[in-house]
Amino acid sequence: MQILCNDPSMKLWIVKSSRNEMPAYRLIKELIAYRFAELWAIKQPIAALIEVNPEHLKALDIDPTPYSIPCFGSQWRPHRLDWDKFMAFSDKPFIKNFDGFEDLLKIALFDLWTGNEDRFAENHNLLIESSNRRTAILAIDHEAILNSSNSNHNVIYTDSKMMLPETYFNLLSSNSIEHVLSQFKEKRQYCKFLVQEFPNLIEKCSANLKSIFEEIPTEWGINSDEIFEYVQRELFKDSWIETVSEQFTTLASRLK
């Protein structure tokens, strides 16, 4: 839902509610992924926790119940396009002004590490943003991280182990992504650099994990200690880091 907030800039925001699903696992995953992506310097819309006035919803005949607890909001910009809509009308010259090659590769690695099963060829969850004749990529929608796609109702199974998403469920298996990356002459070198930098990127996340979990609203009904222990145990162990690095290297090696 698009709303106008009373923040100092009076910006429009897109808010995601609990959908009456408690605990609010979708929201905690959005928060965790947003903070992790920040630490990775992955471009994304500015996000915040937002409280929605229920009286405004009643006036619009919208059930206020899902919005009665803090929502996850992303700042809306009118000049951003969905990846698929953009690619349908783009032509070769846009590549000359494209600044997102490295971001695409970094997001692909990020998705493997976080177990994001909802960014792939049929659902890129990417926005295109153009400014000053340059074109950049923004990552959105992370509610399916931690191997929690719609098939299991987005529950976080804390007694499970992290698994790699199927090969198809990654940006590097998308034809349109592969087409764009084919224009990136330094992709091999950058992929090697990413694999080398990978441990440092996730170390930043590990160092900030406690402060991220301190942001979780009690209204979300989350067992924060249990989720914290699961994330700490599964995302930062050496065997998982090695598995993700190998899978990323394999997928990257297939690029033209």
Q: What is the pLDDT of residues 48-93, one digit of tens each?
A: 999 988 877 877 788 888 899 999 999 987 778 899 887 766 665 5
Largest CA distance in the chain: 56
Beta bridge partners of 134: 131
Q: What is the pLDDT of residues 134-167, one digit of tens each?
A: 788 999 999 999 997 666 567 898 999 999 999 9
Report whether 253 contacts 203 (CB < 8 A): no
pLDDT reported for residue 92: 58
pLDDT reported for residue 212: 98
- Residue 64, preceding bond cis, omega within 30 degrees? no
Which among 63-72, 127-136, 204-213 has the top mean pLDDT? 204-213
Q: Please give the mean pLDDT across all residues of the chain.
A: 90
Report whether 171 contacts 177 (CB < 8 A): yes
pLDDT reported for residue 91: 61
Structural domains counted in the chain:
1
Closest CA to 137 of 205, 224, 42: 42
Is 90 exceeded by the pLDDT of residue 187?
yes
Say how far apart CA 165 and CA 112 lie, in whole Å.
7
Is 80 exceeded by the pLDDT of residue 117?
yes
Say how far apart CA 64 and CA 67 lie, in whole Å.
5
Alpha-helical segments (H) within the chain:
25-39, 54-59, 83-89, 101-114, 175-181, 187-213, 224-235, 238-253
**Mean pLDDT in residue range 175-201:** 95
Please give the residue range of the domain that contains residue 112: 2-254
Least confident of 58-67, 220-229, 243-252: 58-67
Say how far apart CA 83 and CA 244 lie, in whole Å.
25
pLDDT reported for residue 11: 78
